[in-house]
């Protein structure tokens, strides 16, 4: 492992400072970053580094060229990402488990792992070494991965590794099959067998041509099978290295992936089928929410246009009529006073509308300061009394969440004033460990005020649901209460990626 092969990281848990001190005693041509860079680039073993954030997230900091070539992963595409974003779910779970174990131990560890990678299914001996920063916190995990799948390099460990490989494949929920260069099945895991038997298949699939299965289904009119057959033939012939295909099976959605890899002079194809129904449904929900937001945006624009036409423009028409009287020499003091009042009212409405469209203080004063200013102005304009209660670290929520909450409060208060003639409004906003809670209650009339989409409720719902939250509207004998909740996980901005160590730049 790295601690045994590098003259710089011999103590495993040393800090960056002490590592640099050792580097100063090295030959001048390998001092400081050059020593790390030379080892990183020239090592025949696969090396990788994982940055540990203060929130105990594990972000890839880089892979050396050897590991890129062996796994089929690209360092440029993995850097700054968590394992779930570039590894098979089971491989990601295994690696993150190792990271957590190393972090908890605070010392080097070595484990064997079977990983499903773009380059194929491989067995690795993986070593991790924790590296502490100047403050003593473990900030980096340095890893070494040795492929022990090959018999020539592993000798007597091959049989146990193959047994481990079979056990791991059979424990996966993913349906896995390995095809030879002709497209014939040479290995399937238990999930593949179970899925086939549940749908009436009686054989073990081994020895059957997967391409012939697809061809038969295509001849029977299955469009999915025809697309898969074409893609598989291109992978088999080397015209493509991999492909991914989504298809439906009953009420479920599956993702099929085929990857071509080589082992010595032999060529193989790894085929996997994953049930991605939950992901597909989540994507559909996002698409539906986006469409709803666009519809709501159009509705808000229509409402603004009506507001300008039905109110502000009428004030301006009155001023125009007054100017006609003035031009005819028939103006009186009352005419001028009426014109002045109409202009002032139009000016107030335009300023109010402009403020509602873009509250200028939100970015600078954050949510609590902006709400206090808004409530103060609302009371002056409407004569209603507003009780504002703010608790917890509200201003530490992401700006996009603060903006959404502000819009919901605006809409709820405007509805209470316009549609219920409320005289008393209570706004309670708090944040705790569970999330952000909002309640806007009024004492207005609601018996003649049914809940219909025209008063902005869909817009409030969409803004809250965007963050995985919920919104409800309840009618009491006197008054209406709007309640909203945004869970804690939506209130944490992702950490900014830090700069990697010199030898990874």
SS3 letters across 347-374: HHHHHHHHHHHCCCCHHHHHHHHHHHHH
pLDDT of residue 279: 76
Each residue's pLDDT expressed in tens, for the chain with a length of 505 residues: 333 333 223 223 333 333 333 333 333 433 445 667 777 887 788 899 999 999 889 999 999 988 998 888 998 899 999 998 888 777 788 789 889 999 999 999 988 776 778 877 777 888 999 998 888 899 999 999 988 765 444 444 444 545 555 666 777 778 888 888 888 887 888 888 888 877 776 666 777 888 888 888 888 888 788 888 899 999 998 898 888 888 887 788 888 899 988 876 678 899 998 888 887 777 777 777 667 766 766 666 666 766 676 677 777 777 787 788 788 878 788 878 888 888 887 777 776 666 556 565 676 778 998 899 888 888 887 788 999 999 999 999 988 889 889 989 988 888 888 777 888 999 999 999 899 999 999 988 764 444 443 447 877 888 888 888 999 998 876 788 999 999 988 887 544 444 333 333 3
> How is residue 488 annotated by DSSP?
G
pLDDT of residue 165: 59
The 10s digit of each residue's pLDDT in 82-134 is 998 888 777 788 789 889 999 999 999 988 776 778 877 777 888 999 998 88
CA dist., res. 300 & res. 23, Å (int)? 63
pLDDT of residue 326: 81
Contacts of 335 (CB under 8 A, 6+ apart): 322, 325, 326
Helix then strand count (H, E) for the chain reads: 17, 15
At residue 487, φ and ψ (nearest 5 deg) are -70, 160
Cβ atoms 73, 174 nearer than 8 A: no
Cβ atoms 46, 64 nearer than 8 A: yes
Specify the DSSP element, H or E, that contains 346: helix 333-357
H-helix segments, 209-312: 210-219, 223-236, 277-307
> Kindly report the CA angle at 106 between 105 and 111, in degrees rounded to 5?
55
pLDDT of residue 324: 80
First to last CA, the chain: 22
Contacts of 73 (CB under 8 A, 6+ apart): 63, 67, 86, 117, 118
pLDDT of residue 99: 93
Query: Which residue is it, tokens 């900030």?
Result: 139
Would you list the DSSP string of 102-162? HHHHTS-EEEEEEEEETTEEEEEEEEEEEEE-TTS-EEEEEEEEEE--SHHHHGGGHHHHH
pLDDT of residue 450: 46
Q: What is residue 475's three-state secondary structure?
A: strand
Joined tokens for residue 166: 């079979």
Nearest by Cα to 113 from 143, 155, 76, 138: 143
Can you state the angle between helices 399-420 and 362-382, rounded to 10 degrees?
10
Residue count (the chain): 505
């Amino acid at each position: 492992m790295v601690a045994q092969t590098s003259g710089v990281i011999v103590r495993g848990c040393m800090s960056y400072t002490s590592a640099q001190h050792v580097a100063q005693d090295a030959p001048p041509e390998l001092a400081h970053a050059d020593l790390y860079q030379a080892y990183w680039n020239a090592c025949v073993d696969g090396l990788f580094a994982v940055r540990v954030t203060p929130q105990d997230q594990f972000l890839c900091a880089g892979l050396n060229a050897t590991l890129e070539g062996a796994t089929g992963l690209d360092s440029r595409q993995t850097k700054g990402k968590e394992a779930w974003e570039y590894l098979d779910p089971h491989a990601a779970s295994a690696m993150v488990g190792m990271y957590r174990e190393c972090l908890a131990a605070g010392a080097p560890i070595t484990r064997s792992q079977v990983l499903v990678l773009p380059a194929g299914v491989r067995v690795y001996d993986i070593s991790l070494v924790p590296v502490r920063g100047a403050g003593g916190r473990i900030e980096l995990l340095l890893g070494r991965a040795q492929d022990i799948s090959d018999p020539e390099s592993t000798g007597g460990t091959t049989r146990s590794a193959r047994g481990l490989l079979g056990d791991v494949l059979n424990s996966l929920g993913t349906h896995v099959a390995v095809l030879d260069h002709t497209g014939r099945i040479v290995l399937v895991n238990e999930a593949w067998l179970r899925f086939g038997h549940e749908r009436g298949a009686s054989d073990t699939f081994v020895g059957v041509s997967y391409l012939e299965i697809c061809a038969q289904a295509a001849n029977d009119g299955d469009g999915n099978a025809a697309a898969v057959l074409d893609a598989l033939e291109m992978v088999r012939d080397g015209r493509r290295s991999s492909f991914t295909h989504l298809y439906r099976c009953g009420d479920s959605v599956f993702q099929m992936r085929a990857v071509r890899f080589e082992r010595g002079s032999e060529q193989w194809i790894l085929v996997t089928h994953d049930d991605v129904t939950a992901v597909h449904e989540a994507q559909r929900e996002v698409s539906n929410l986006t469409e709803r937001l666009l519809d709501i945006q159009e509705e808000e624009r229509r409402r603004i246009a009506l507001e300008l036409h039905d109110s502000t423009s009428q004030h301006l028409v009155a001023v125009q009529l007054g100017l006609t009287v003035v031009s005819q020499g028939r103006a009186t003091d009352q005419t001028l006073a009426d014109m002045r009042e109409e202009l002032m009212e139009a000016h107030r409405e335009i300023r109010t509308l402009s403020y509602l469209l873009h509250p200028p203080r939100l970015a600078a004063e954050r949510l609590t300061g902006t709400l206090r200013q808004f409530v103060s102005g609302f009371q002056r304009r409407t004569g209603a009394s507003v009780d504002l209660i703010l608790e917890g670290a509200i201003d530490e929520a992401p700006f996009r969440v603060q903006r959404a909450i502000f819009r919901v409060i605006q809409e709820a208060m405007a509805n209470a004033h316009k549609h219920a003639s409320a005289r008393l409004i209570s706004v309670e906003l708090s944040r705790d460990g569970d999330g952000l809670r909002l309640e806007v209650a009024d004492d207005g009339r609601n018996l003649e005020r049914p809940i219909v989409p025209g008063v902005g409720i869909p817009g409030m719902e969409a803004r809250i649901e965007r963050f995985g939250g919920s919104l409800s509207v309840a009618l009491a004998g006197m008054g209406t209460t709007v309640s909203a909740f945004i869970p804690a996980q939506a209130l944490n901005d992702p950490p900014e990626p830090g700069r990697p160590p010199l030898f990874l730049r």
